[in-house]
């Protein structure tokens, strides 16, 4: 299996309950950024540019746990900044696991050894280690390298242009089909966890609307809206962020800042919400994740 069975079951149960309750705009993943400081300074990182004036801020523990309660999403991705530098990272992780949230620690892994000595393994805890690539841009080499390391799964996403960055190192829309055609083929033989529907989108064979409300972001400044990438403001509460955001506008990618964006969080969210609507697509998804 490409994804933890319990996570898929919990996510499915949560989505069915939300749909039964008539809710349309509900989150699947909370991106919890308890700090923006980092022990690296990667050239493509928008966070250290956007939050340079508040880079020393750290979210109080109660606020971080409260954000998970407010959003209610079954998956909490703790990111940043480098989350393992957060002073409350151990009680935060343990508190989220106690609340049966699936914690995905998004880390550069420099401090990982110290962390795993303090937090025992759990079916609710996994690690997402971000890798930009090999020295040369060789996606196939990278996938083989990670497979040999024994990773459980790999999520590939096009580099995306944060509104605050001016350097020209990101893929343009027109470059994506060529790059992702080969990756889609590799998904048959390697443990890529992207959905086949999203890969079709990257290759340019189908269109997808965006679902930015499926991945919501909370950082020391508040709830960041409208999405993980672009910032109109930071809001005091999850409810306020929802009330001021015109989700249909962003769903249809009308904002000029959406132009080159095919970020997995917005579009994989759409695929997850559409699961079951089209039998052929749903069967492809089941086969993919069970393989």
- Which spans of this chain sit near ligand SF4 (rule: CB under 6 A)? 210, 212, 226-227, 229-230, 250, 253, 255, 257-258, 261, 263, 266
User: To the nearest whole angstrom, how small is the minimum distance from the Cβ of residue 260 to ligand SF4?
Assistant: 9
Considering the complex, state which of residue 145 and residue 249 has its C-beta at the smaller distance from ligand SF4. Answer: 249
User: To the nearest whole angstrom, how small is the minimum distance from the Cβ of residue 71 to ligand SF4?
Assistant: 17
Structural contact between residues 61 and 88, judged by C-beta atoms closer than 8 angstroms: yes
User: To the nearest whole angstrom, how small is the minimum distance from the Cβ of residue 186 to ligand SF4?
Assistant: 25
Among residues 38, 14, 10, the alpha carbon closest in space to that of 27 is found at 14
Which CA distances in Å does 233 have to 58, 215, 222?
A: 19, 16, 9
Considering the complex, state which of residue 83 and residue 212 has its C-beta at the smaller distance from ligand SF4. Answer: 212
Considering the complex, state which of residue 124 and residue 160 has its C-beta at the smaller distance from ligand SF4. Answer: 160
Q: Can you say how many angstroms the Cα of residue 170 is from the centroid of all Cα atoms in its chain?
A: 18
User: To the nearest whole angstrom, how small is the minimum distance from the Cβ of residue 262 to ligand SF4?
Assistant: 8
Considering the complex, state which of residue 97 and residue 258 has its C-beta at the smaller distance from ligand SF4. Answer: 258
Angle at 29 between CA 26 and CA 34, to 5 degrees: 120
Considering the complex, state which of residue 45 and residue 146 has its C-beta at the smaller distance from ligand SF4. Answer: 45
User: 58-68 burial string, b = 16+ CB within 10 Å, else e?
Assistant: bbebeebbebb
- Give, for 242, the enclosing helix (H) or strand (E): helix 238-244
Which CA distances in Å does 108 have to 17, 33, 79, 237, 269?
A: 35, 14, 10, 29, 24
User: To the nearest whole angstrom, how small is the minimum distance from the Cβ of residue 28 to ligand SF4?
Assistant: 14
User: To the nearest whole angstrom, how small is the minimum distance from the Cβ of residue 251 to ligand SF4?
Assistant: 8
Structural contact between residues 227 and 283, judged by C-beta atoms closer than 8 angstroms: no
Considering the complex, state which of residue 51 and residue 160 has its C-beta at the smaller distance from ligand SF4. Answer: 160
């Amino acid at each position: 299996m490409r994804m933890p069975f319990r996570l898929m079951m919990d996510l499915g149960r949560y989505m069915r309950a939300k749909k039964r309750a008539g809710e349309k705009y509900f989150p699947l993943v909370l991106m919890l950024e308890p700090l923006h400081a980092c022990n690296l300074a990667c050239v493509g990182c928008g966070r250290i540019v956007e939050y340079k004036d508040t880079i020393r801020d750290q979210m109080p523990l109660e606020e971080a746990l409260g954000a998970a309660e407010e959003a209610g999403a079954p998956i909490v991705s703790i990111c940043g900044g480098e989350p393992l530098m957060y002073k409350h990272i151990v009680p935060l992780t343990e508190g989220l696991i106690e609340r049966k949230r699936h914690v995905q620690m998004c880390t550069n892994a420099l401090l990982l050894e110290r962390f795993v000595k303090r937090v025992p393994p759990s079916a609710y805890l996994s690690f997402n280690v971000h890798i930009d690539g090999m020295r040369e841009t060789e996606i196939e080499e990278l996938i083989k390298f990670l497979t040999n390391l024994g990773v459980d799964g790999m999520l590939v996403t096009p580099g995306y242009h944060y509104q605050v960055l001016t350097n020209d190192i990101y893929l343009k829309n027109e470059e994506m089909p060529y790059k992702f055609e080969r990756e889609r083929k590799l998904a048959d033989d390697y443990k890529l966890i992207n959905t086949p529907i999203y890969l079709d989108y990257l290759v340019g064979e189908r269109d997808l609307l965006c679902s930015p409300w499926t991945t919501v972001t909370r950082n020391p400044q508040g709830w960041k809206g409208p999405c993980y990438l672009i910032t109109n403001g930071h809001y005091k509460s999850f409810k306020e962020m929802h009330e001021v955001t015109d989700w249909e506008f962003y769903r249809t990618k009308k904002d000029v800042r959406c132009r080159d964006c095919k970020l997995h969080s917005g579009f994989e969210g759409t695929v997850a919400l559409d699961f079951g609507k089209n039998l052929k697509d749903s069967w492809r998804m089941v086969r993919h994740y069970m393989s």
